[in-house]
Amino acid sequence: MKYEVTDLTKVRRRPERAIYDRDLVHSILDEALVAHIGFVDDAGVPRVIPTAFSRIGEDVVIHGSTRNLLMTTLAKGGRACITVTLIDSLVAGRSGFGCSMDYRSVVIYSSAEVVPDSEKPDCLERIVQDIFPGHRIRDHRENELKATLVLRFPIREVSAKVRDAGCLDVEDDYASDRWAGRFPVSLEIGPAENCPRLGPEVVIPEIAAGLPSRKK
């Protein structure tokens, strides 16, 4: 299935790289750990804030303090532009203009919906499990929940853009004596380093051996 192309999501620069496939969009969002959220605050100042996020079904979900400017501004229903980028390789071309990156990116235009208090604990647990599958946490305290806003952004207006081309030099440059190639880039998550204040009774869980790959 594909997302509908709108005036906002239509890719105009290198449109052949645009993809609106739902599964691909989901896979990019699921692999990423950080989204950059652009919005305009109440003073008319444009801001772009990086934040952890999760995809829950057809929503992007974030959480933060009830005093956080990003959260409080968007909780009023303001529009946001959410971007996620995964770098797959650094491309060294034969010229400066031939140097590039292979990447997968997603851009979403959406307005926030405040997650009601009754759904907060489940939403926060799902965010934790998305980043740390199998991690056991204590129950949230009431004061923690009251001090936290959870926002969800419906994924409706969205586009993905992908470059997986490696070196694309000017035709004349292929005969030159300059080297060209690409360097694969990946995110590695290593074994855990135990908190130095772990009590002697704490059993080290399997998750400490390493988290699974983010690629899905």
pLDDT of residue 214: 78
pLDDT of residue 216: 60
CATH number at residue 149: 2.30.110.10
* H/E stretch holding 170: none
Q: CA geometry: angle at 41 spanning 147 and 122, to 5°?
A: 30
- Residue 125 in tokens: 């647990």
Residue 179: inside a domain: yes
Residue 9: inside a domain: no
Q: Which residue has the tokens 């959406």?
A: 110
Q: How many helices (H) and strands (E) does the chain have?
A: 4, 11
Residue 215: inside a domain: no
pLDDT of residue 188: 86
Q: Are 41 and 141 in contact (CB under 8 A)?
A: no
pLDDT of residue 15: 87
Give the list of residues 6+ apart from residue 99 with CB closer than 8 angstroms, or none. Answer: 91, 92, 93
Taking the mean position of all CA atoms in its chain, how far away is CA 19? 17
Give the list of residues 6+ apart from residue 110 with CB closer than 8 angstroms, or none. Answer: 60, 79, 80, 82, 153, 154, 155, 156, 157
Residue 112: inside a domain: yes
Residue 173: inside a domain: yes
Residue 106: inside a domain: yes
What is the rounded distance in angstroms from the CA atom of residue 159 to the CA atom of residue 2?
A: 10
- Residue range(s) defining the domain that contains residue 145: 15-209
Q: How many domains does the chain contain in total?
A: 1
pTM for this predicted structure: 0.92
C-alpha radius of gyration, the chain, whole number = 21
Residue 90: inside a domain: yes
Q: Which residues of the chain have pLDDT under 70?
A: 216
Residue 79: inside a domain: yes
Q: Are 166 and 180 in contact (CB under 8 A)?
A: no
